[in-house]
A and B are shown apart, each in its own frame.
Chain A
Amino acid sequence: MYILKLILRNSFRHRLRTFLTVLGITIAILAFGLLRTVISAWYAGVEASSASRLVSRNAISLIFPLPISYKEKIRQIEGVKMVSYGNWFGGVYIDEKNFFANYAVEGKTYLELYSEFILPPDQKAAFFRDRKACVVGRKLSAKYGWKPGDSITLKGTIFPGNWDFVLRGIYKGRDQAVDETAFFFHWDYLNETMKKTIPRRADQVGFYMIGVERPNLAAPVSAEIDKTFKNSLAETLTETEKAFQLSFVSMTEAIVIAIQLVSFVVIFIIMAVMANTMAMTARERIGEYAIFKTMGFGVWHITGMIFGESMCITMIGCAIGIILTFPAAKAFGAELSTFFPIFIVEDKTIGLDILASLVIAVVAAIFPAWRAVNIRIADGLRRIG
């Protein structure tokens, strides 16, 4: 208790220096936490993927479609529980800056497959009844102030023209890992319009979403689907939803690696700052450590005091940094909700913050402790006065 009191008082002996060091650690932990949250947000889609859902797309590229006629053939494959399908619509609201994910889907099967999208029964029924209906996520509706019954017009980029919709439902996620910024409407609406305007693009889907009976059937079912359409005009590439999401992330892997590197550089810099603070502290107190040694205090007491002080300063900065990470991430996430629909500070990030702080505290104290322990008492005493 006494030693703890001494550590605490020593930590605040040079108030300005301690304040500046704590401030530096706070900013570093805040930056580290936000950068790690960006990385988590990058992988949010992967994390939210279900192990019992498969995605089947054109084997050449995602931009090439598959015929709607594949639906029945896929449904007949053993192990397949449900088949849904859709297209990436790629429309924009008013202008390009209002970008959000929007899909044309087969509503009934899609909402059944994605049970994590919670839609009130009356809104779900209203959505199914109206061919021009759309459903949007809670965050997206809040962003644009939409409410059920509102008319929404999207400007098509892949499918030309202005597309009018009526908002019939607002879904919320089953948990905070679910994307609440998506926009869904009926694939039939898209297909019928295509039949009238560009008939050669009708009856084609961008992807099939396939529910399997058990997660362990994912691999054989995937193989069977691809085998079924081998040597056809549109061969399929079927993979689990997680693998499908990961293939998107891998396209931007270099950015993720860069962010990871920056996050570690931040920690490395603050480690150097903290080490400098502790080195200055130990140099100033070398005479005091000699006094402690003179009185019979041993290596463990001296190292304990130095490591304790380093730990105290670092952990105060860490705690403030962690506390500030939450409102900062909220503000950051709100600003960038289009790019990062799920921007949540994970428990793992907090754990990494604490781990990084512990590493900073320990590394910063090693050299000063080594110096304090190894200096001869007589030499240490000579530094006083």
Chain B
Amino acid sequence: MENPARQIPVVEIRNLFKSYRRGNQILPVLEDINMDIARSEFLALMGPSGSGKTTLLNLIAGIDKADRGTIVIGGVDITSLSETELAHWRASNVGFIFQFYNLIPVLSAFENVELPLLLTNLSKKQRRDHVKMALHVVNLSDRSEHNPGQLSGGQQQRVAIARAIVTDPSILVADEPTGDLDRVSAEEILELMERLVHELGKTIIMVTHDPRAAQKAHLIRHLDKGVLNVHPEAYT
């Protein structure tokens, strides 16, 4: 029996268009995208290079602006928000996982994870508790004082995941999260992401080239030349 809460779309995308300007040319990147993503869904976006995967991910995450169309996330139409409103919205609603981890090299793992909490009203002690919890979830409590340079790629990505979940956002966006990792580390990261969906109820939207990574998702959507395939491919 499917959990009914999982059927409620947390992301609703309607008639979304996005293009880039290069000199005098306007290059369409996304054309009339319509898509719903349910709560606690693990969605993989696949497609060849230049198909618009990362652009769609950026639009859903509120770090880029669409030309036309609407993106409603958790009841909020983020296409109508100003830059400042978007920044506030991102801080509390979205967690980011990048291909190259993007940790701040001069900060320890603990401090990197604490970073998003600086925008909250939490006390220092509350922040410390949240960070400890996030590092515990990714099984890196013993490496909290290490700097990114002292950690392996897999460990750095786990710190990045801890940073993404520390504010308890409803959505995690991951852009090629295993693209820079060896097979074993990639497997660990994907298992961790699955746990986040199953145990913490997070909604994950992942862009990947790797079919093995995509197989971990509940659903795969293909993009080709800015057009989303009509029939989603369900794995679970």
Binding site for B on A (CB under 8 A): 2-3, 6, 9-10, 13, 287-288, 291, 293-298, 376-378, 381, 384-385
Contact = CB atoms under 8 A, between A and B. Distances in A.
A288 B114 contact: no
Interface in B118-135: 118-119
Interface residues of B, number: 26
B169 to A, nearest CB: 10
Given A293-B87, A294-B63, A9 B107 contact: yes
Nearest to A295: B116
Given A2-B118, A377-B64, A378-B64, A294 B106 contact: no
Contacts of A376: 64
Q: What does DSSP make chain B's interface, helix, strand, loop or mixed?
A: helix
Given A6-B106, A288-B104, A377-B63, A295 B98 contact: no
Interface of B: 55, 58, 61, 63-64, 84, 87-88, 90-92, 96, 98-100, 102, 104-107, 111, 114-116, 118-119
A384 B91 contact: no
Given A376-B64, A385-B99, A296 B119 contact: yes
A10 B106 contact: yes
Contacts of A291: 96, 98, 102, 104
Nearest to A3: B118
B84 A298 contact: yes
* Most B C-beta atoms less than 10 A away, residue of A6, A294, A297: A294
Q: What does DSSP make chain A's interface, helix, strand, loop or mixed?
A: helix
B110 to A, nearest CB: 11
* Most A C-beta atoms less than 10 A away, residue of B61, B63, B116: B63
Contacts of B111: 2
B70 to A, nearest CB: 19
Contacts of B115: 295
14 contacts: A2-B111, A2-B118, A6-B104, A6-B106, A6-B107, A288-B102, A294-B63, A295-B115, A296-B88, A376-B64, A378-B63, A384-B98, A385-B99, A385-B100
Given A376-B64, A377-B64, A378-B64, A295 B96 contact: yes
Contacts of A295: 90-91, 96, 115-116, 119
A2 B120 CA distance: 13
Nearest to B176: A385
Nearest to B91: A296
Given A378-B64, A385-B99, A2 B119 contact: no
Nearest to B163: A295
Contacts of A378: 55, 58, 63-64
* Most A C-beta atoms less than 10 A away, residue of B106, B107, B114: B106
Nearest to B65: A376
Contacts of A385: 99-100
Contacts of A10: 106
A13 B118 CA distance: 22
Nearest to A12: B106
A382 B164 CA distance: 19
A293 B91 CA distance: 9
Given A381-B63, A385-B99, 10 more contacts: A2-B111, A6-B107, A291-B96, A294-B63, A294-B90, A296-B87, A296-B119, A298-B84, A377-B63, A378-B55
Contacts of B61: 294
Contacts of A377: 58, 63-64
